[in-house]
A and B are shown apart, each in its own frame.
Chain A
């Protein structure tokens, strides 16, 4: 199985600030994704992190609010910009390793609370 580490695991953020979440995979992966899980809700895909190019965003999510980087095949970051209380969520990184069949793994999640 792939090991996916996320930092920070938890944070309390002030309204109007930005926070960058890091996702590190223990081996090269073909696909990396970022999901959001609002309190009591299911997971919603934010974007696909593409290595060496701009991320592909889902409807309702924009690059200015959620800039994503993926400089190599094992690392990605998600920034939550100009945060408001509505951004309080768990943010999860997931990855698919090429040749691993059809198993999609997740990081431990980053709990953000905006006050």
Chain B
């Protein structure tokens, strides 16, 4: 079984500052994938970034980077130069790797509500 823990129900950040959203995970699978999604108040789930467990480098996508520490089982999202439009709920999620159907079923954390202050 897989488990995702997000310990920050809410976070505040000043516009243009960087912010780190925490995510820890637990799994017995030897390989897995880690995802971050953004959910604005409209309800859609927007894919932000992906990290594979065997990827040597931390993933980056524009202002988003994933601080992956495998030994600590953490996959924190770093948002640089925060913008007002970044205010949303952020979910960390994971899947086991592999080609079977179950390999793409996402297990989600409880989410962190980020508010960017002007």
Query: Contacts A45-B106, A94-B106, A102-B50 given: A108-B43 contact, CB under 8 Å?
Result: yes
Bound complex: CA A96 to CA B44 (Å): 16
A109 with B47, Cβ < 8 A, contacts A33-B105, A42-B108 known: no
**Also in contact, A101 and B106, with CB within 8 A (given A31-B101, A90-B43, A108-B42):** no
Q: Which of A21-70 contact B (CB under 8 A)?
A: 31, 33, 35, 37, 41-45, 48, 50, 56
Expressed in whole angstroms, the minimum distance between the Cβ of B77 and any Cβ of chain A is 16
CB of A108 to closest CB in B, whole Å: 4
B110 and A106 contacting across the interface, CB-CB below 8 Å: no
Chain A, residue nearest B46 (CB): A106
Q: Given the complex of chains A and B, what is the CA–CA distance between A16 and B43 in angstroms?
A: 25
User: With contacts defined as CB atoms under 8 Å apart, how many contacts are there between chain A and chain B in the complex?
Assistant: 56
Q: State whether the Cβ of A104 lies closer than 8 Å to any Cβ in chain B.
A: yes
- Complex partner residue of B104 from A31, A41, A92, CB under 8 angstroms: A31
Q: A-B pairs with the 7 shortest C-beta distances?
A: A106-B45, A109-B43, A108-B44, A42-B108, A43-B108, A96-B104, A31-B104
A residues adjacent to B (C-beta < 8 A): 1, 31, 33, 35, 37, 41-45, 48, 50, 56, 90, 92, 94, 96, 101-109, 111
What residues of chain B have their CB less than 8 Å away from a CB belonging to chain A? 33, 35, 37, 42-47, 50, 52, 91, 93, 95, 101, 104-106, 108-111
